[in-house]
Structure 1
């Protein structure tokens, strides 16, 4: 998506410093925090696919076509 930490922080209501610490491996995210970030990314058009899901392409992360990907 090309989001900065600041953009993810704004969309998910998770502090930028918290996101930076996750990325640096300094903290392990709480389940609720992961859910907040996931919901923000899904609202922006990200599709998370698990192994075995009936979606073309198999497991991974994709962008919904035509979604708001700003």
Structure 2
């Protein structure tokens, strides 16, 4: 999540406003203090993908991110 935010140059506050997930929750997820519910992950994934971020996985292991210019331009 932190890498995707950095790619888009979004603060936690911006991600919160765009996704509807509280800034406090985002901070806790990024710090590894808690894990998001499936519904929350869907909100965050949809928000990032709408902005053009694509998550790269091998099986269930995250391998990185890329940007698809077909999505919205980074803010």
Normalised-by-shorter TM-score class: 0.7 to 0.9
More helix per residue: 1 or 2? 2
TM-score, normalised by the number of residues in structure 2? 0.73
Q: How many residue pairs end up in the alignment?
A: 64
TM-score, normalised by the number of residues in structure 1? 0.78
1:64 corresponds to which of 63, 68, 72: 68
| Runs (5+) with no aligned partner, structure 1 | 53-58
More strand per residue: 1 or 2? 2
Larger radius of gyration: 1
- The answer to whether 1:47 aligns with 2:54 is yes
After superposition, the CA RMSD in angstroms is 1.7
Residue deviations 1:23-69 (CA, integer Å, cap 9, x gap) = 122211111111100100000110122228xxxxxx52101126411
CA distance in 1, matches of 2:32, 2:54: 24
